[in-house]
Chain A
Amino acid sequence: DADVTQTPRNRITKTGKRIMLECSQTKGHDRMYWYRQDPGLGLRLIYYSFDVKDINKGEISDGYSVSRQAQAKFSLSLESAIPNQTALYFCATSDIARDEQFFGPGTRLTVL
């Protein structure tokens, strides 16, 4: 079983709809992250959480919100989706003692 899972893997929605992307991990890591990938722009950090009670904005948090329901779960919400939020979204985790991050398989979101 994958250590970091994301649901759904693909989603097509309409402008104005509320969307939630979910991330779960079995690695036992405290730290979790949400990134967005657009073609030609690499990955950009949306939000990150260093523990259940610690949530921080990243580089591009406008239009997004997050919830850290438990150590193993970190959800990303788009309250009112817009077409320029069409992208590939990654969840990642890391251990407090090491820097490398482990990524989920990604969620491909299309907003029409």
Chain B
Amino acid sequence: AQKITQTQPGMFVQEKEAVTLDCTYDTSDQSYGLFWYKQPSSGEMIFLIYQGSYDEQNATEGRYSLNFQKARKSANLVISASQLGDSAMYFCAMSPIYNQGGKLIFGQGTELSVKP
């Protein structure tokens, strides 16, 4: 069975510093996708970044990058130059089927607080 583990229930970071949110996954599939979503206090789920299991380069989207280490089964999110608006819950998720719109399996989330 597929599983996502986020071991940091809460994290603090100083404004303008970088922060890494950890995510490890477990799957026997060869093809899969990894995602990060942001959930601010207002409740909506905002898609941030995607990494396919066969992508050789780490994904980047603006200030977000995904540190993908396939052998270690980790997909950590790096946020550079943190902003106050980055304070939110962050969820790592996995889709067991690559590029076929599979079901998402979510981790329990990490609550990030950015300090001024």
Interface residues of A (CB under 8 A from B): 30-31, 33, 40-45, 48, 50, 58, 88, 90, 92, 94-103, 105-106, 108
Contact = CB atoms under 8 A, between A and B. Distances in A.
Contacts of A45: 103-105
B108 A99 contact: no
A48 B43 contact: no
Interface of B: 4, 33, 35, 37, 43-47, 50, 52, 91, 93, 95, 97-109
Nearest to B44: A105
Contacts of A33: 103-104
Given A31-B101, A33-B103, A50-B101, A100 B47 contact: yes
23 contacts: A33-B103, A33-B104, A42-B4, A42-B106, A42-B107, A42-B108, A43-B104, A43-B106, A50-B101, A92-B45, A94-B101, A96-B101, A97-B101, A99-B50, A99-B52, A99-B97, A99-B99, A99-B102, A101-B47, A105-B43, A105-B44, A106-B44, A106-B45
Contacts of A97: 99, 101
Contacts, number: 66
A31 B104 CA distance: 12
A66 to B, nearest CB: 14
Task: Rank and list the top 6 A-B pairs by shortest CB-CB distance, nearest first.
Answer: A103-B45, A42-B106, A99-B33, A43-B106, A94-B101, A99-B95
Contacts of A102: 47
